[in-house]
Amino acid sequence: MRVHLPRNTAGKLATFALLAALLAVLPFVTEALLGRAWVRVMDGALLFAMLAIGLNVVVGYAGLLDLGFIAFFGLGAYAYALLASPHFGLHYPFWVLLPFGAALAGLFGVILGAPTLRLRGDYLAIVTLGFGEIIRIFLVNLNRPFNLTNGPHGVTLIDPIRIGGFDLSKTYDLFGLKVAAVHSYYFLFLLCVILAIILSLRLENSRIGRAWIAIREDEIAAKAMGINTRNIKLLAFAMGATFGGVAGGLFSAFQGFVSPESFKLMDSIMILCMVVLGGMGNVAGVVLGALLLTALPEALRYVQPLQLAVFGRVYVDPADLRMLLFGLALVLMMRFRPQGLWPSVRRQHELKGEA
């Protein structure tokens, strides 16, 4: 007996199969064309995509401006690092540490959200900014009188992720292919991003997601309709922070070293720019923004040798050019396309003044 799938279903399955095949060969093709360093850039882009998805829950869905989101990333990273390194002599497995880091970050998300329930806009941004800086300063100074975080020196020799007998930090031969650590972590990060996207989309279309959107549109009207705005806003902070905690644990295992310098205010602003540039409230747009803003700085590194080849000297430092182009891009986006590169349908209607 033959089973005939509807034409649109068969087309979707074919599209998904093609996309899966492209994502599977992408790191190997990238290494062959651009070098292994770019595979590492792809790994970082996937981590930033997960962070942007988490911040999109807070900013895009609930409309709560958070400038301290990087703190949750740091909490997840340090939770993994301290309990999977020689610092305390503990070496717990990743399947214990990742949920622990996520729960810790979620708890701090609630701690951050509780005193800010009556704040909105600029005031909320200032409070969250201060929270992010407090966490970073604690990480720097909690090395005395009891050495909890090892201070500004950070934590080294962090255990990599091991799944059964498979160590992601080692190189393996698979069907004639050399699968290095950057490839293994790429597939793990890709799986985590896919799960984060599915969870985020399910949240958006759930009763909780609709409540977040109602609060974003008009909190007073949402409260009048019977929505418990206090609990729903706390849930947004906790859920977004949980994504950050998971990404932090993965970052810690991938790098093998963490320090407070990895969790600065500029990183929070960069993640927020990813959400705004891609399209607030649209998961696909947020991921696109994360990929673009991670790859662009690395691509601009080629400007320096290009200037040497053409002019014989470097007129514009790549770091300065990166910030110049980044700022210019944001100005142009806010002027000509404030909804983002890939906005949600709802966001487009909002900016057009439609119901």
Per-residue pLDDT of the chain (355 residues; tens, 9 = 90+): 455 555 567 777 788 888 889 999 999 999 999 899 999 999 999 999 999 999 999 999 999 989 999 999 999 999 999 999 999 999 999 999 999 999 999 999 999 889 888 888 889 899 999 999 999 999 999 998 899 999 999 999 999 999 888 899 999 888 778 899 999 999 999 999 999 999 999 999 899 999 999 999 888 999 998 999 999 999 999 999 999 999 999 999 999 999 999 999 999 999 999 999 888 889 999 999 999 999 888 888 888 788 788 888 877 777 777 778 878 888 888 888 888 888 877 766 666 665 4
Look at residue 247 in the predicted model and tell me its pLDDT.
Answer: 97
Of all helices (H) and strands (E), which one includes residue 101? helix 94-113
Give the separation between CA 104 and CA 126, rounded to whole angstroms. Answer: 23
Question: CA angle at residue 262 from 299 to 255, to 5 degrees?
Answer: 75
Residue 320 is assigned to a structural domain of this protein = no
CATH of residue 108 = 1.10.3470
Residue 27 is assigned to a structural domain of this protein = yes
Give the separation between CA 145 and CA 36, rounded to whole angstroms. Answer: 42
Residue 321 is assigned to a structural domain of this protein = no
Quote the domain boundaries for residue 61: 18-264
321 within 8 A of 303, measured Cβ to Cβ:
yes
Cα–Cα separations (whole angstroms), residue 152 to 72, 84, 141, 247, 260: 18, 19, 7, 21, 6
**Tokens read off for 78:** 């340090």
Residue 277 is assigned to a structural domain of this protein = no
Give the separation between CA 137 and CA 142, rounded to whole angstroms. Answer: 8
Residue 300 is assigned to a structural domain of this protein = no
Provide the 10 A C-beta neighbour count for residue 327.
Answer: 10
pTM: 0.92
Tokens 């600065």 correspond to what residue? 264
Look at residue 355 in the predicted model and tell me its pLDDT.
Answer: 45
Cα–Cα separations (whole angstroms), residue 66 to 58, 128, 235, 305: 7, 6, 14, 38
Residue 99 is assigned to a structural domain of this protein = yes
Look at residue 145 in the predicted model and tell me its pLDDT.
Answer: 87
Helix axes 181-204, 229-255, angle to 10 degrees: 170
Residue 186 is assigned to a structural domain of this protein = yes
Count of the separate structural domains present in the chain: 1
CA 113, 244, 135, 268 torsion-angle sign: negative
Residue 123 is assigned to a structural domain of this protein = yes
Side-chain half-sphere of 73: how many Cα atoms within 13 Å?
Answer: 28
